[in-house]
Amino acid sequence: MPNVMGVISNIINANKANDVNQRAIDQQKQVAELVKNPQLLAAKIASLRQPLSQGLVSSVNNDSQANLAERGLGTSPQIATAVESQALAPFEQRSQEDAQNAFFSLLGQGNSSTQAADATLPKSADTSGFWGGFGGGSGSNPGITDYLAGA
């Protein structure tokens, strides 16, 4: 009887695994639709993007202006704008990357979400002894085909 309980347990576990797999397939379909529509993908990522803090922007601009003044270039607005943009670029890029990571995490993409889903599934019970009775049979452990051959 313990082997029958193992079979039932494995069937229940397989149904749970099927549910997890179906959710993953649905997420993949959603990603495929987004890949087909890059504007929608960009809009969804942009909606998660956090603007740079005013304190950071002010600090970078002040540092840029001071650096330009030391070089004697503080009176040129075109140069100041270019230098400030270049100084803010790494922070803008980081903000964009954070938004992308947040978006793909919401979709359940990446290794961490897959591993988390797999960790929730219980391990299968060993039912090889039970199923061996239905096989071809060998020696002292006859299978169902041995019984059918004798009939």
The residues near 120 (Cβ < 8 Å, ≥ 6 apart) are 20
Which pLDDT score, from 0 to 100, does residue 117 have?
Answer: 56
108: left (phi over 0), alpha (psi -120 to 50) or beta: left
* pLDDT band (50, 70, 90) for residue 141: low
CB burial of 7-36 (b: ≥16 within 10 Å; e: otherwise) equals eeebeeeeeebeeeeeeeeeeeeeeeebee
pLDDT digits (tens, 9 = 90+) for 5-62: 777 777 887 888 888 888 888 888 888 888 888 898 889 889 989 999 999 999 999 9
Which pLDDT score, from 0 to 100, does residue 95 have?
Answer: 93
Quote the pTM value.
Answer: 0.54
